A and B are shown apart, each in its own frame.
Chain A
């Protein structure tokens, strides 16, 4: 493991202009894709939840825009789409693992499709089977958002946990701060 490249914050400056573009819209699309995938599950096949995205432990830098998230309208998060696990309920015993690719959903700056694996009525894995964005920094933001969305979806329908704590999406600023200290120390 090596320190992440430190150019991520440059993307973050530009991405800040689009603050919130993912927030409501892609979530709705993502969850809609989830729901579509869950209810139209294809015949059982071996679950191979493979990650189709690179690891996203490199968040963009702290943005400095002072404008409020005006375009961040959560209204697109339709009530019906807030991860209703009941639609995924199956009666298979023992629980079989099934997976399906959801419909491709537009979210304003691109499109996304989710691959969902269910087992015994629970979503056990979510991957993104396709993601396209108009511009590279949208891609960068989307790649950061997806693991968070995935976690939210799993947590929202989980009877096991209400949230996950960890150091995965660490503050880039803090990382850079530590890195600068290390830089002065040498190898």
Chain B
């Protein structure tokens, strides 16, 4: 079975209120082992989701929100996600603030990214060499692309033309996008709790998808001010499409200009 082109294992799993797709390639592993690794990654997603969901009123996270469960008694995933939330609140100067949500702390804007990182960790420790875990448009990237590229090329969905890209970015680590185009809503400014005309599309690239996920949420609400916060992190980069269609990006964002037009479909 070592002959022929590299085989990409493709799997789509309904989870976290969205579809999670996993594409994994592991030339050194038997096919059945890649299947096993993907199955384990999915099991990890569901296990963590059951701790962190705010949809199940009896989940540890829901009980913590109601004050029935102290942080010191909460399962480790809840503690870890809350730590990351505090970190991103700091990085974003309060623009990402799960503690401002009505009904108690709501880490949903970051938890999905963290769970996807954990799923990728399962793949990595299983020996998978190259993988994309895509949870509803938030991507976790492992290794290098199966074609000979050294960095992944990620299309940023155009906020108003569903079949087009606004840009193609060269990335590694993770890519998260937040925006209002998919739901036609405005976001809430955590400082004033007022609805604000949010960015059309806010993309963050960086080493950890949990942090990128939270920062993308902040960028969608805070716009240019958060872009400056992201620039200061030195490890994350941001690409903002404002409500009026104008764009801005941090220094480190790598566009793939020649592809942007051609890759549109």
Contact = CB atoms under 8 A, between A and B. Distances in A.
A170 B202 CA distance: 13
A1 interface: yes
**Interface size class of chain B, counting residues whose CB lies under 8 Å from the partner chain:** 35 or more
A1 B198 CA distance: 15
Nearest to A123: B265
Contacts of B262: 160
Contact of A167 (B55, B139, B155, B182): B182
Nearest to A149: B12
A72 interface: yes
A136 to B, nearest CB: 16
Contact of A77 (B9, B55, B101, B185): B9
Nearest to A24: B11
B182 A168 contact: yes
A99 interface: no
Q: Which interface residue of B177, B184, B265 has the most chain A CB atoms within 10 A?
A: B265
Interface of B: 5, 7-19, 21, 23, 31-32, 35, 38-39, 42-43, 46-47, 49-50, 53-56, 59, 101-103, 106, 108-109, 112, 132, 134, 136-139, 141, 145, 147, 149, 152-157, 162, 165, 168-169, 175-188, 193-195, 201, 203, 259, 262-263, 265
Interface of A: 1-4, 9, 12, 15, 19-20, 22-24, 27, 31, 57, 59-69, 72-75, 77, 79, 82-84, 124-125, 141, 144-145, 148-149, 151-152, 154-156, 158-175, 177-182, 184-185
In the A-B complex, list the 7 residue pairs whose CB atoms are closest, starting with the nearest.
A1-B184, A166-B157, A169-B136, A172-B17, A64-B56, A160-B263, A166-B137
